[in-house]
């Protein structure tokens, strides 16, 4: 699983936006709004972390159980794939 080339995360006051760049601007036509946990997951995946490594990092950052973190990562990954921002 990885974030596709041509998508970036921009943090503006009160929002985390995934924005298309380059040729993706026409094809994607919009942006995604992520909560802070979603932005954390996006950043880890963009840096090449696996979903398992990302879930482990969530447990350390947010003091959450690994099974809860894993479920959050799976849901976020599925949403990113569905939106066309990530690929399996």
CATH code of the domain covering residue 24: 1.10.10
Total domains present in the chain: 1
44 or 28, which is more confident?
Answer: 44
Q: 48-82 pLDDT, tens per residue?
A: 999 999 999 999 999 999 999 999 999 999 999 99
Q: Do the strands 86-87 and 2-3 form a parallel or antiparallel pair, or are they unpaired?
A: antiparallel
- Average pLDDT of the segment spanning 3-7: 94
* Domain region containing 79: 2-87
Say whether pLDDT at 88 is over 90: no
Whole-angstrom Cα distance, residue 75 to residue 80? 9
* Predicted model pTM: 0.92
Find the mean pLDDT for residues 10-34. 92
- Which contacts of 5-10 are long-range, i.e. CB under 8 A and separated by 24 or more positions? 7/85, 9/34, 9/39, 9/42, 9/43, 9/46
Buried b (16+ CB within 10 A) or exposed e, 10-28: eeeeeebebbbeeebeeeb
């Amino acid at each position: 699983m990885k974030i596709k080339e041509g998508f970036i995360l921009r943090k503006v006051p009160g929002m985390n936006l995934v924005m298309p760049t380059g040729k993706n601007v026409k094809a994607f036509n919009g942006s995604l709004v992520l909560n802070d946990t979603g932005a954390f997951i996006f950043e880890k995946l963009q840096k090449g972390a696996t979903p398992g490594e990302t879930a482990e990092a969530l447990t350390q950052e947010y003091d959450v159980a690994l099974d809860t973190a894993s479920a959050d990562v799976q849901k976020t990954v599925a949403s990113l794939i569905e939106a066309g921002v990530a690929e399996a």
